[in-house]
């Protein structure tokens, strides 16, 4: 008998050599039906793998990332099998077919150029393969036998992949019906597990990502355990397409991107209104939480970046220049400048926590293929802050920082979850320092009762961090806020404060951002609100629509009153039908369109139509002004 330790710590006895699937069935048929793969001593394995010794076992379902990947990896094999069945005369050669975030793809070389219509045929054949419920059987062969087998099949890409492996490598294959593929696995037990799938697109992709190689056809798809989950996901994609901030940014005249500056966004007047309102709110919140604003230079010399560690650890993401024959770098981060501000004069323990914030413009080199609207750019404004604290203040200050985050995110009605990222391979500092820093962040999260996950090895090179993931109105998540604990930069820059004992001590440093990047946050909000910004953020808050020219004077009187009250207002006095002007105000997603005609002029009223509502109502003009001012002051959210 062998001992199997489950994830919850329970220990179960089993016969040596029992498969993982048989083992699960022995104590839970329902769990065996849900299981897709398992982790055996930390390694993800097929359910058909035998257990030959005492081991730790974690059962993976679709709720687990590795479980989803096993299912979607199997879907990619089903795709390849379907293509092979349908296009026997097209000289089909298979390249690679991995699972990816939210789906899978397969790169295929074939004589036929696939169309959307072909994808429907392939998807239909895939569903037949799912119904056949073919078992996926793993086998192992020598490298030489695998090369010969795939040569015989005419699969030159598979041969190339195998030839890159060591000569003594054992090659794993997976067979489902008549189809055999080179694969390390893992997979689900049979094709019947892939109950809901959808092919989404076909694009070109160079073999191994090199332009020197042949262009293959990459077929993208997604797969779920349940049809309902697939439908929900596809609906979310449709909603996301409607909300694309690049499309809305153009329609609402918020920003533009130009070939003259790839990755460097241009903000238009409407976009600047949103940007400035976000900054005004940011400044107001930070003043209440005891921050002092600073500004540091855009370019600093090489010696500083060597001292901070960025020259050694971040150089490939930086831009450089020379001044007076010396090397300088455009800052990719604001923290070294913040250190110099702190170090500009002595500090006492009585000043700490010292909270310094900065709206710092940073530049980072991103590959052109990675650029994406406002989400991935080469220059952006970080709403940065650097807090200098005593070791005893760490947990309290992290709690206070989370309070600030909570207030800001609730203003936008954005739910959030936390992720604790630990020490990466390329890092600075001692094991003891990292352990102490990580534990401090973990304690703060646990003492607050905030749910979090651990992201092993994804911390900054100078310290662990907490990332805050925001959930938008259609269920997508975005990483925005970050709190990073740093005991190393203060050491590198020899930062000190005079303690109660009169001696010099080393402060601890917290790096943190709330929005993350002003540009990216605007992109997120644009998609979250589908361009229908809450009134306090909307570039135009009210559009006044006089019915005829004789009502224009009243419209402009109202405009002046609203303008003087700091309401962003405009008059549409074009010689167009009122219905047309109302529809256009709706297209521009203006919060309030107010119509004025004979009745409104005679009674000093306005006919108010709120964006997204069919009905209008008439109210006293001054009452409307007071109502909208209250809405703006309260930062009411039209989604809420």
Which of 335, 357, 393, 589 is the catalytic position?
335
Alpha helices by DSSP H, 87-134: 116-132
Integer CA distances (angstroms), 333 to 4, 258, 459, in order: 48, 25, 15
- What is the chain's alpha carbon radius of gyration, rounded to the nearest angstrom? 30
Give the C-alpha separation, 246 to 225, whole Å.
Answer: 32
Q: Determine whether 386 is an active site residue.
A: yes
502 Ramachandran zone, left/alpha/beta (phi>0; psi -120 to 50): left
3-state SS track over 151-177 = HHCCCHHHHHHHHCCCCCCEEEEEEEC
- Please classify residue 15 by burial: count the beta carbons closer than 10 Å to its beta carbon, then call 0-12 exposed, 13-18 middle and 19+ buried: exposed
The first and second tokens of residue 198, run together, are 């959808």
Which of 84, 218, 275, 465 is the catalytic position?
465
Q: Determine whether 384 is an active site residue.
A: yes
Give the C-alpha separation, 262 to 583, whole Å.
Answer: 35
Q: Determine whether 81 is an active site residue.
A: no
For the chain, give the number of residues.
Answer: 640
Which of 84, 245, 363, 364 is the catalytic position?
364
Which of 511, 543, 588, 638 is the catalytic position?
511
Q: Determine whether 183 is an active site residue.
A: no
Pairing mode, strands 569-571 and 542-546: parallel
Handedness of CA 294, 289, 332, 305 (dihedral sign): positive
Q: Determine whether 511 is an active site residue.
A: yes
Please choose, from the candidates 93, 179, 172, 92, the residue with its C-alpha nearest in 3D space to the C-alpha of residue 134. 179
Give the C-alpha separation, 555 to 552, whole Å.
Answer: 5
For 185, phi then psi, to 5°, come to: 80, -165
Which of 382, 393, 484, 541 is the catalytic position?
382
The first and second tokens of residue 325, run together, are 């024959």
Give the C-alpha separation, 33 to 40, whole Å.
Answer: 18
Which of 77, 245, 286, 386 is the catalytic position?
386
Q: Determine whether 283 is an active site residue.
A: no
Catalytic residues: 335, 364, 382, 384, 386, 465, 511
């Amino acid at each position: 008998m062998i001992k199997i330790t489950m994830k919850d710590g329970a220990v179960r006895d089993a016969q040596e050599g029992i498969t993982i699937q048989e083992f699960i069935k022995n104590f839970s048929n329902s769990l065996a039906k849900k299981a897709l793969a398992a982790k055996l001593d930390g390694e993800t394995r097929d359910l058909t793998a035998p257990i030959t010794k005492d081991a730790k076992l974690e059962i993976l379902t679709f709720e687990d990332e590795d479980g989803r990947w096993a299912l979607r990896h199997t879907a990619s094999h089903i795709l390849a099998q379907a293509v092979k069945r349908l296009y026997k005369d097209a000289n089909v050669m298979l390249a690679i077919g991995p699972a990816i975030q939210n789906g899978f793809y397969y790169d295929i070389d074939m004589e036929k150029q696939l169309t959307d219509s072909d994808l429907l045929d392939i998807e239909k054949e895939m569903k037949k393969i799912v119904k056949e419920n073919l078992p996926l059987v793993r086998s192992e062969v020598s490298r030489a036998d695998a090369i010969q087998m795939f040569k015989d099949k005419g699969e030159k890409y598979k041969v190339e992949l195998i030839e890159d492996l060591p000569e003594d490598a054992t090659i794993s294959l997976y067979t489902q019906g008549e189809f055999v593929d080179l694969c390390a696995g893992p997979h689900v037990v049979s094709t019947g597990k892939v109950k809901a799938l959808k092919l989404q697109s076909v694009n070109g992709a160079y073999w191994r990502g090199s332009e020197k190689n042949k262009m293959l056809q990459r077929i993208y798809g997604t797969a779920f355990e349940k049809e309902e989950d697939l439908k929900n996901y596809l609906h979310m994609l449709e909603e996301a397409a409607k909300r694309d901030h690049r499309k809305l940014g153009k329609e609402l005249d918020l920003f533009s991107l130009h070939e003259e500056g790839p990755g460097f966004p241009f903000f238009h007047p409407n976009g600047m209104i949103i940007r400035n309102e976000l900054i005004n709110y940011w400044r107001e919140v930070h003043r209440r939480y005891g921050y002092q604003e600073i500004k540091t230079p855009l370019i600093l010399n090489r010696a500083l970046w060597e001292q901070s560690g960025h020259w050694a650890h971040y150089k490939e993401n930086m831009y450089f220049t020379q001044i007076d024959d010396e090397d300088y770098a455009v800052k990719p981060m604001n923290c070294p400048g913040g250190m110099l501000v702190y170090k500009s004069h002595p500090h006492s323990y009585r000043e700490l926590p010292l909270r310094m914030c900065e709206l710092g413009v940073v530049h980072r080199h991103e590959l052109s293929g990675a650029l994406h609207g406002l989400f991935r750019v080469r220059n952006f404004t970080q709403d940065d802050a650097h807090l200098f604290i005593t070791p005893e203040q760490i947990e309290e200050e992290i709690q206070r920082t989370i309070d600030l985050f909570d207030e800001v995110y609730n203003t936008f009605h954005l739910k959030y979850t936390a992720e604790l990222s630990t020490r990466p391979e390329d890092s600075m500092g001692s094991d003891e320092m990292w352990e102490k820093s990580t534990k401090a962040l973990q304690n703060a999260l646990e003492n607050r009762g905030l749910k979090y996950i651990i992201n092993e090895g994804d911390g900054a090179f100078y310290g662990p961090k907490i990332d805050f993931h925001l959930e938008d109105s259609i269920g997508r998540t975005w990483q925005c806020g970050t709190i990073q604990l740093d005991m190393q930069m203060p050491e590198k820059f020899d930062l000190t404060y005079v303690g109660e004992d009169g001696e010099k001590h080393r402060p601890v440093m917290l790096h943190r951002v709330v929005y993350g990047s002003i540009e990216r946050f605007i992109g997120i909000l644009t998609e979250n609100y589908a361009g229908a910004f809450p009134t306090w953020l909307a570039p135009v808050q009210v559009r006044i629509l006089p019915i005829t020219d004789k009502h224009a004077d009243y419209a402009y009187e109202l405009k002046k009153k609203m303008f003087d009250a700091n309401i962003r207002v405009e008059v549409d006095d074009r010689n167009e039908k009122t219905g047309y002007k109302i529809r256009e105000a709706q297209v521009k997603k203006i919060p309030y369109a107010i119509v004025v005609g004979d009745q409104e002029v005679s009674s000093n009223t306005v006919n108010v139509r709120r964006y997204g509502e069919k009905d209008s109502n008439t109210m006293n003009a001054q009452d409307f002004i007071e109502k909208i001012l209250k809405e703006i002051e309260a930062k009411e959210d039209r989604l809420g």
